[in-house]
Structure 1
Amino acid sequence: MNNQEASRVAGVIAAVGTAALGQSLCNLLEGDVRFDMSCAYLFRFDQPAVLLHDGYKGMVPTKTLSAYVRGGYLLDPFYVACMNQHPAGLWRMSELAPDSFFSSGFAISPDLHPCVSSTHGSLVEELGYIIPLQAHTAVVFSLMKAQNHGPFADAEIRRLQTLAPIVNRAFEAHWRLRPEEPGSAPDAPDSHLESAFVDILQGQLTDAQRYIAKLILQGHSNASIAHLLGISEGTVKVHKHNIYQRLQISSNSDLFRLFIGYISQSGR
């Protein structure tokens, strides 16, 4: 470790427990890794996401970040992975995303998904450190690279993996100081339905139908839903038909618009 790197690590240590932690980690990483935006979110089951580090550099509208924190994060593969106790470490978005995620309403929505809120398709890759803190509570520290800069190189990935212990320990120490007053983590209900999804569809769908609607919104195809639930694709299609009928819609896009409408109303 050279003097410059040692100084950057010292900066990370000094920033633990302060709002400067995210930027100090960026200072450590950007010496060897090129990225265009960064962010860190605290994810807890059935509670709003907390933006711990805003490294969007003014490229993401405030209304998009607000919509994401109010409920858009529920469709984020990193959030879903955290709530399903995914192993800690550095992960590509593409490794976590459902099979139809990148064509889903969330992935291409500039009003809800920060990574495409500047110019559609402007970001080709997102990497995130998953740092579990306690049951159904985790921090995700993400780095994003613009399309014209290409994907993260293998050497950059190796460097980021090497620094993973520093990133993890920094956020674990940050959490113990609890600067955001996070409180205790709630128990996950048996239905696996966050309140936002229940609120949107309450009284119109059965529990099974609401769960399938949730999977559709998160970017799962019929085949993926069938695999997750242990049913046939034909049965999934029947469920989707019934969901559409009950909600008086005709497509996944219409379902996403219902979700967007709920998120918009909750911000008023």
Structure 2
Amino acid sequence: MISQRLSDAVAGMIAATGNVHYGQALDSLTEYAAEFDMSCAFVFSSNHRPIVIHDGYSETVDRRALRSYLRGAYLLDPFYTACVSGVAEGLWRMRDLAPDRFYDAQFAWSREVHPCISDQAGTLVEEVGFIVPLANGTAANYSLMRNRGGQLFDDAEFESLARLTPIIAASIRQHWPFIQNSEADAPAARRDADLVFQQVFGDALTPAQHSVTQLILRGHSSLSIAEHLGITEGTVKLHRSNIYRRLGISSQSELFQRFIDHLVE
């Protein structure tokens, strides 16, 4: 039996389609299934920077991190990679999409480039996200987050959220044309991976080294990089050594800091 609260939430989301209250209406619907601390929604494309559909965390975190994210840190986000690589529509836990060493990588904990991390809000304990494929190789991601001190989304909560997928997906597809129209007058900002990493590291690295660098920063181990690129783990380690030497650094932390310094200039 449909509750009055759910009925009101769905009606509110329909009414908010195409206006500035859409994100709040999305949150009202998903709060029916599970509580969360922050939320956000982006449309991702492989050749343009993300378009913000809903910013549900800037009231509690520094907006400079969001600017850094939009300038290029999104390229390290597992939800971005999932969206541009054609992951199926549905609700996903970030940990099921993330590379094998993602949670050892600095992006997952960096307050400078990860808009969900701050001294005030704390480190995330979990992020789950709805992935909604759109037209022309784009996809939307609507994420819900719980902060440190909270609990993971349990199986029952995850299942309750997942049942909302058809409603959320249909709604985002209805809302997306309004966002496209509002972006039509904005200057195009091509921010694909090759361009961003080229701007950060310039001609210091070979094309093969650029590919390895991207995967290092995204949180892949040497073994995972080898599997992605079809080379041996030993070759990856040699590339890593040469990357550090060419950039005048000695660790992955310094590599990540070089990336951050470019984004927060």
* TM-score normalised by L of structure 2: 0.91
CA distance in 1, matches of 2:19, 2:46: 24
Q: Contact (CA 8 Å) 1:42, 1:138: kept in 2 or not?
A: yes
Which ranges of 4 or more aligned residues in structure 1 deviate by more than 4 Å?
none
1:18 maps to amino acid: N
CA distance in 1, matches of 2:242, 2:206: 10
CA distance in 2, matches of 1:161, 1:34: 14
Partner-residue secondary structure (3-state), 1:107: helix
Q: Contact (CA 8 Å) 1:70, 1:263: kept in 2 or not?
A: yes
CA distance in 1, matches of 2:139, 2:51: 11
Farther off after superposition, 118-127 or 194-203 = 118-127
1:14 Cα deviation from its structure 2 partner? 1.0
Deviation string 1:39-59 (CA, Å, 9 cap, x unpaired) is 111212232222221211621
Query: 2:239 — aligned with what?
Result: 239
Matched pairs, number: 259
Q: Contact (CA 8 Å) 1:133, 1:139: kept in 2 or not?
A: yes
Q: Contact (CA 8 Å) 2:60, 2:121: kept in 1 or not?
A: no
CA distance in 2, matches of 1:137, 1:2: 34
Uncovered stretches (5+) of structure 1, i.e. residues with no partner: none
Q: Contact (CA 8 Å) 2:106, 2:253: kept in 1 or not?
A: yes
Q: Are residue 97 (structure 1) and residue 115 (structure 2) matched?
A: no
Partner-residue secondary structure (3-state), 2:128: strand
Query: 1:261 — aligned with what?
Result: 261
1:120 Cα deviation from its structure 2 partner? 8.2
Deviation string 1:100-156 (CA, Å, 9 cap, x unpaired) is 111111111111112322358632100000111123311110000123221112111
Deviation string 1:181-215 (CA, Å, 9 cap, x unpaired) is 269xx9x9xxx843101212231111111010000
1:82 Cα deviation from its structure 2 partner? 1.0
Partner-residue secondary structure (3-state), 1:115: coil
Q: Contact (CA 8 Å) 1:17, 1:179: kept in 2 or not?
A: no
Q: Taking every aligned residue pair, what percent have the same amino acid on both sides? A: 44
Question: Which residues in structure 2 correspond to 1:172-211 (within 5 Å)?
Answer: 172-177=173-178, 178-181=180-183, 193-211=193-211
Query: 1:16 — aligned with what?
Result: 17
CA distance in 1, matches of 2:184, 2:38: 25
Instruction: Please give the root-mean-square deviation of Cα atoms over the aligned residues, in Å.
Output: 2.0
CA distance in 1, matches of 2:182, 2:61: 23
2:39 maps to amino acid: S
Q: Contact (CA 8 Å) 2:91, 2:161: kept in 1 or not?
A: yes
Question: Which residues in structure 2 correspond to 1:104-253 (within 5 Å)?
Answer: 104-118=105-119, 122-177=123-178, 178-181=180-183, 193-253=193-253
Query: 1:2 — aligned with what?
Result: 3
CA distance in 2, matches of 1:182, 1:217: 32
